[in-house]
Amino acid sequence: MDVRRLDLLRELAERGSVTAVADATGRTPSAVSQQLKVLEREAGMPLIQRHGRGVVLTSAGHALARSATEVAIAIERAEALWDDFRNHPSGEVSLLTFPTIGATLLPRVLIDLASVSGLVVHATDLDPELDVFADLANDHDIVLAHAMPGDLPWGGRGLTVVPLLTEPLDIGLPANHRLAGRSHVTPEDLVDETWLSVPEGFPFERILHAVEQQGGKRIRVGQRFSDMRIVEAFIEAGLGIALVPRFTSGAVPEGIVLKPLRGVQSVRRIVALTRPDVAERLAVRTVLDVLVTRAAQLGSGAAGAEPGSSARPFAV
């Protein structure tokens, strides 16, 4: 069987439609369908079947798609071994980041990698909903993602997960706030405040619900923003308080103080997602190693930090 046709079958299993596979691989839908038909002849049994206006994989198709993933991993591993032998992590690596970690971590990472001859990193940013991060791993070699403890929105997708950082989410207060002199704050201190929250459905909202439960009353949300720069501007203006990432929000304005929140779990976990075959590439492993090192440095010396350097990659 042709490896490239196997890869098309794997893409179909992951993306769900011939059109999506065509868009991702730079082919026409007709060309993808033709290659899949050839693969069916090579396999000697049906691999796809019509379902409504689209197609789905047969049981044989799913089995072969899983084998295609193993083949892709083996090929990437062989190429990585050759790169290791040459000790040269060359090639292009595409990386998608969410804004806060991208602004704080990525410049240092790219500066470190600039000395690696032949390695080119193409980075871009997006702030998607949590369950979209796994889909984005189909289009990017590395996806920087975040989730709340206990959540595993990319579970069951067969991705390699590299832990980077567990980041406390502090309470941002105006510098002249009545609680600004405290060493920490509790839900009971905060339930009567006006909050600057995230758009509904964003992960930080879970912490606000925990504050409500612990504080014994509903909190009042004044505004909702996804951009931390806007949130900080509103805090500094005295228009509310908010959850602010301790490490990745950058330099906090002088008019804002950050206070640890006690009484509820207020952290997020930041990870790098990659497909298992992509993770075999020496160039990708090189970028991941620098990400882990720099993330550990970012979180070192701060209370509540759990640097990613102490964690191992795992599959989900």
16-58, pLDDT tens digit by residue? 888 888 888 888 888 888 888 888 888 888 888 888 878 888 8
Question: CATH homologous superfamily of domain 167-267?
Answer: Periplasmic binding protein-like II (3.40.190.10)
Q: Is 80 exceeded by the pLDDT of residue 310?
A: no
pLDDT band at 314 (very low <50, low <70, confident <90, very high): low
Average pLDDT over residues 190-194: 95
The correct CATH number of 88-161+268-300 out of 3.40.190.10, 3.20.20.70, 3.20.20.450, 3.30.2270.10 is: 3.40.190.10
The b/e string for 221-245 (b: 16+ C-beta within 10 A; e otherwise) is eeeebeebeebbbbbbeeebbbbbb
Q: Which residue's entry shows tokens 């298992």? A: 276
| Topology match between the domains 3-82 and 167-267 | no
Q: Name the residue with higher pLDDT: 97 or 153.
A: 97
What confidence score (pLDDT) does residue 207 get? 93
| Domain map (residue ranges) of the chain | 3-82, 88-161+268-300, 167-267
pLDDT, position 308: 36
Other C-beta atoms lying within 10 Å of the C-beta of residue 45 = 11
| pLDDT-derived band at 285, boundaries 50, 70, 90 | very high
Q: What percent of the chain has pLDDT over 90?
A: 48
Q: What is the pLDDT of residue 64?
A: 84
Average pLDDT, the chain: 87
If one counts every other C-beta atom within 10 angstroms of the C-beta of residue 118, the result is: 10
Fold topology of 3-82: Arc Repressor Mutant, subunit A (1.10.10)
What's this model's pTM, rounded to 2 decimal places? Answer: 0.70
